[in-house]
Structure 1
């Protein structure tokens, strides 16, 4: 499975908002901090708002702030907010097609390939839900200069 750039952008933006402090930051500030196109980043930010991970405030002092602490935001939350909740694998029941399908008895149980892929995806989702952004922030905090750089970059 391949995730779009939006997931990476969303993860960094959430972490940057945390490191920058409590003030709301606008799309332009956040986009400039990483050299991203503001209109596309804004799309990701709006998806994070809809998912309840960010709060958007209008006005001259408006912008985006975290809706909850990093301890309550998992990697899975961000992936689902940006990519959606569709399964990564879609079984097309090709086992029933072509010559093999013609020559084989009609299947009575679930497709073994589909079952294996769903188990793997479930494990992937569990791994993502076991990691919070606070876990990543703790790793970033091992490099104290990062917080200063982020604050300077968004000013």
Structure 2
């Protein structure tokens, strides 16, 4: 299954928002800068997350994005569906009915075995994503991030968030 790179960006952005102190919005500019992403494209992903009720915007000079719900209440599946849509990833076009050996559609009483197998695998994948919360991702990130990177991130945000207050 191939997803847009925007999905990766969205999940990382949400994980970062989950790490912020409650009520601390992050401007889109800082989110983009932190991950070295093009801000206009990140904006599209954040808009999709906002429409899905995963993030919300705070207006004003100290505005930005915050999570709309607690990390425990946001699943990876919700983020996938917000960015890539809820449709099935595998689409069966019934090519088995084509070509010189094809017969009338009435002879095919159910989708082909390939489609059924792909849909079964996708259902298992979706079930796993639905069982994984943003809080789970947050815990994994904290456990896997080198302490030096954590210290640099804290210092970067302190400097950049304070800078925004003095401008």
Q: TM-score, normalised by structure 2?
A: 0.84
Distance 2:32 2:65 in 1: 12
Misfit runs of 4+, over 6 Å: none
CA RMSD of aligned residues (A): 2.0
Q: TM-score, normalised by structure 1?
A: 0.90
Larger mean CA deviation between 12-21 and 108-117 belongs to 108-117
Residue 103 and residue 76 in structure 1: after superposition, are their counterparts in 2 closer, same or farther (change >3 A)?
A: closer
Distance 2:54 2:105 in 1: 49
Instruction: Report what 2:109 is aligned to.
Output: 108
Per-residue deviation, 1:102: 4.1
Instruction: Report what 1:83 is aligned to.
Output: 84
Q: C-alpha offsets along residues 72-100 of structure 1, whole Å, 9 cap, x if unaligned?
A: 11111111111011111111111111112
**Unaligned 5+ residue runs, structure 2?**
161-167
Residue 5 and residue 153 in structure 1: after superposition, are their counterparts in 2 closer, same or farther (change >3 A)?
A: farther
Aligned residue pairs total 155
Per-residue deviation, 1:147: 4.6
Residue 44 and residue 107 in structure 1: after superposition, are their counterparts in 2 closer, same or farther (change >3 A)?
A: same
Higher relative contact order (CA 8 A, sep 6+): 1
**Unaligned 5+ residue runs, structure 1?**
none
